[in-house]
């Protein structure tokens, strides 16, 4: 009998497979599905939250009483099955409410902390032996001690970190103070040395002056005395030798006394003695008072300039000691000295002339723009009167009159917002108006040379380029900056921005760099060779930037209706200083700048002047003080335009009433 190979039994199927004993399940696992199912079933179909104060409808659906009541005020159907339903068909579900309370209690117990469980156990009267309580108390005390120790260690670590941070900060401040004190020591030594040199030079000059005076007096006096001696005024002299000698001696004494007295007078006049000092002591006291009034700003200015020059010196050490001069007089100190000298020299604005140009046919007198010509001999004004008036500055200052007549007057179709003189051709001036028209005028022929009408809205600002007098730029409410050439009939370049353009200005040292102030609180600085994006965007103002003006090739001033002026460095892309003191929240109040000073108007009808190194006003003047006889509300007037005379302390200013005054900075 041969053995046959048996087939392996088939794998057990689900029906034939031996059933493995079920794994034991904890009571919590058994409860979870049931509770999950219950949670789904006890949600209100309207608010999708666990039902509160359950009510059941005639169709068998349960809702929160509040939810179903609100629903039935608007509709008469069941939210679940849409059957007819009214307040008479809903009933309280006591069983469901009881179940919901149990579920809520169970959830609260499940979410409670171990401490809460323990507390509930004790409150429920669970019997615990004294030994067990002692063990629990010792555990709790030990736990509390460890927690307190851990918290104390954490607090000490926080305190230690704070003290270390404070120490580091104070050490940095101490090192900075030591550095500043070293600057002050070096500069004090340099100033003393320079003062001694000036004193020595002054003494030498005074001594030389006395010698010249003495020699001149002797040259004039001695011949007359010799003539008197030879003409026989001593006729009896031959009778007495002693008398002749005494006379000669007397003449010598008189000569010496006269020369000495003359010498003393010359010393008083030229020596810079106490009398001269007394004459200037009042000025010195006033200047010292200004220093103490702005001491913090001056201190900051001194340290900034000193530190900046020290950094430059460290960068240029390899190139040779060209930052310090032979006497050790640091350029930073030299720079600050010029600031201190110019700042303390002036403290007020003195009126030197008032322009009266009343027009009986035009009651609107707001002057929007004032500009001096290339040579500062003439100035032009323009505004809502639709006229450009050109005056001769010297005649306004030197020839007071009841009414000053312009030497040129040009009429326009619309209100004017801005003027700009050509920096090369003296008789050319550009204007822009409320209709967006840009016009170039010849004041000699009183005719327009070019007229551009590409702007779609009011043009606020216009400026001729200094380095290329055929180019000018304008900005408008149409969010566009347009570059024009007086040799072409259309704009040569357009810059599209996202906000209204309030002001534009060429960099005085470049024909390709333009600063643009916009209503989005920013200044955009463009290179016209690549207008796809600005070189820099200066942000910091909180409202629209109403004006931009250059002090130099790298210093840019901006004005905003946030009551501030700001000074920027367009080379370093940085904010140098913020100026506060005037009020400007709604109107365009004017802005002008020269190499050292920035001036602007105020909505308080005042003119403010700031030194570029000091954030507070250096001088101001109120137009309201001269308007005591005006019947209208003086508080409604504001300064609307200002303009410095180039390289001068003279300034023109106009207010919204049309009053124009010439000022000069005075001590």
Q: Is the pTM of the predicted complex or chain greater than 0.75?
A: no
**Cβ neighbour number for residue 192 with a 10 Å cutoff:** 10
Per residue in 211-250, pLDDT (tens digit) is 887 777 666 665 665 555 555 543 444 343 443 344 444 4
Q: In angstroms, how far is CA 264 from the centroid of its own chain?
A: 57
| C-alpha–C-alpha distance, residues 518 and 476, integer Å | 10
Contact in structure between 654 and 614 (CB atoms under 8 Å): no
Average pLDDT across the chain, whole number: 81
DSSP assignment of 597-651 equals EEEEE-TTSEEEEEETT-SSEEEEEEGGGG-TT--S-GGG--EEEEEEPTTSSEE
Residue 64's closest CA among 86, 102, 39, 92?
92
End-to-end alpha carbon distance in the chain: 141
**Cβ neighbour number for residue 514 with a 10 Å cutoff:** 28
Per residue in 326-380, pLDDT (tens digit) is 456 788 888 888 888 888 888 899 999 998 765 545 556 889 999 999 999 999 9
Kindly tell me the sign of the dihedral angle through the C-alpha atoms of 211, 215, 217, 221: positive
Residue 92's closest CA among 72, 68, 65, 67?
65
Residue 70's closest CA among 59, 58, 55, 81?
55
| C-alpha–C-alpha distance, residues 271 and 259, integer Å | 17
Query: Phi/psi at 47 (nearest 5 deg)?
Result: -95, -10
Number of Cα atoms under 13 Å in the Cβ half of residue 536: 17
Reply yes or no on whether the pLDDT at 261 is more than 60: no
Beta-bridge mates of residue 246: none
Q: What is the mean pLDDT of the segment spanning 550-554?
A: 95
Q: Which residues contact 38 (CB under 8 A, 6 or more apart)?
A: 99, 103
| pLDDT value of residue 148 | 94
Most confident of the following: 12-26, 108-122, 588-602, 619-633: 588-602
Q: Which residues contact 598 (CB under 8 A, 6 or more apart)?
A: 549, 551, 557, 565, 567, 579, 591, 592, 609, 610, 611, 612
Segment (H or E) for 596: none
Give the burial string for 494-508 (b: 16+ CB within 10 Å, else e). ebebebbbbbbbbbe
């Amino acid at each position: 009998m041969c053995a046959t190979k048996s087939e392996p039994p088939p794998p057990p199927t689900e029906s034939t497979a031996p059933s493995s004993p079920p794994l034991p399940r904890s009571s919590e696992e058994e409860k979870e599905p049931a509770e999950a199912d219950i949670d789904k079933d006890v949600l209100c179909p309207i608010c999708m939250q666990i039902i509160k104060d359950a009510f059941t409808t005639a169709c068998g659906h349960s809702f929160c009483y509040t939810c179903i009541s609100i629903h039935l005020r608007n509709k008469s159907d069941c939210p679940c099955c849409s059957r007819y339903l009214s307040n008479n068909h809903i009933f309280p579900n006591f069983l469901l409410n009881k179940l919901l309370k149990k579920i809520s209690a169970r959830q609260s117990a499940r979410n409670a902390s171990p401490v809460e469980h323990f507390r509930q156990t004790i409150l429920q009267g669970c019997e615990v032996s004294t030994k067990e309580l002692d063990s629990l108390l010792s555990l709790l005390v030990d736990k509390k001690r460890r927690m307190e120790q851990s918290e104390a260690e954490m607090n000490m670590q926080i305190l230690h970190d704070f003290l270390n941070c404070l120490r580091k900060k104070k050490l940095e401040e101490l090192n900075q103070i030591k550095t500043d004190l070293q600057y002050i020591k070096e500069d004090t030594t340099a100033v003393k040395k320079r003062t001694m040199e000036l004193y020595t030079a002054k003494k030498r000059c005074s001594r030389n002056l006395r010698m010249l005076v003495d020699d001149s007096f002797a040259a004039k006096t001695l011949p007359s005395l010799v003539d008197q001696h030879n003409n026989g005024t001593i006729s009896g002299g031959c009778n007495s030798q002693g008398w002749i000698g005494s006379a000669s001696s007397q003449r010598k004494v008189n000569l010496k006394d006269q020369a000495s007295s003359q010498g003393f007078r010359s010393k008083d006049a030229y020596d810079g003695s106490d009398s001269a000092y007394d004459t200037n002591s009042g000025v010195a006291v006033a200047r010292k008072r200004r220093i103490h009034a702005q001491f913090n700003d001056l201190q900051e200015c001194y340290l900034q300039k000193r530190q900046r020059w020290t950094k430059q010196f460290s960068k240029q050490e390899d190139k040779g000691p060209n930052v310090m001069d032979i006497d050790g007089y640091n350029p930073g100190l030299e720079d600050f000295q010029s600031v201190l000298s110019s700042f303390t020299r002036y403290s007020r604005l003195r009126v030197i002339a008032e322009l009266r140009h009343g027009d009986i046919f035009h009651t609107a007198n707001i002057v929007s723009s004032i500009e001096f010509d290339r040579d500062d001999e003439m100035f032009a004004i323009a505004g809502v009167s639709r006229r450009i008036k050109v005056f001769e500055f010297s005649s306004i200052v030197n020839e007071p009159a009841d009414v000053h007549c312009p030497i040129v007057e040009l009429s326009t179709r619309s209100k004017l917002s801005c003027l700009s003189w050509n920096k090369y051709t003296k008789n050319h001036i550009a204007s822009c108006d409320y209709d967006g028209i840009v016009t170039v005028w010849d004041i000699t022929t009183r005719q327009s040379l070019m007229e551009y009408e590409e702007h779609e809205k009011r043009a606020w600002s216009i400026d001729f380029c200094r380095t290329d007098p055929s180019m000018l730029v304008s900005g408008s409410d149409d969010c566009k900056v347009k570059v024009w050439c007086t040799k072409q009939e259309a704009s040569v370049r357009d810059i599209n921005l996202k906000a209204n353009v309030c002001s534009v200005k060429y960099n005085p040292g470049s024909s390709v760099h333009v600063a643009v102030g916009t209503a989005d609180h920013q200044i955009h600085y463009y290179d016209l060779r690549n207008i796809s994006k600005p070189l820099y965007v200066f942000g910091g103002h909180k409202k629209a930037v109403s004006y931009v003006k250059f002090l130099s090739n790298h210093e840019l001033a901006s004005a905003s209706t946030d009551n501030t002026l700001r000074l920027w460095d367009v080379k370093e892309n940085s904010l140098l200083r913020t100026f506060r003191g005037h009020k400007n929240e709604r109107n365009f109040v004017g802005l002008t700048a020269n190499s050292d000073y920035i001036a602007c108007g105020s909505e308080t009808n005042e003119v403010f002047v700031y030194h570029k190194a000091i954030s507070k006003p250096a001088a101001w003047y109120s137009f309201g003080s001269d308007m005591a006889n005006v019947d209208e509300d003086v508080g409604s007037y504001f300064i609307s335009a200002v303009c410095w005379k180039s390289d001068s302390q003279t300034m023109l200013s106009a207010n919204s009433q049309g009053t124009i005054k010439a000022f000069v900075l005075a001590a």
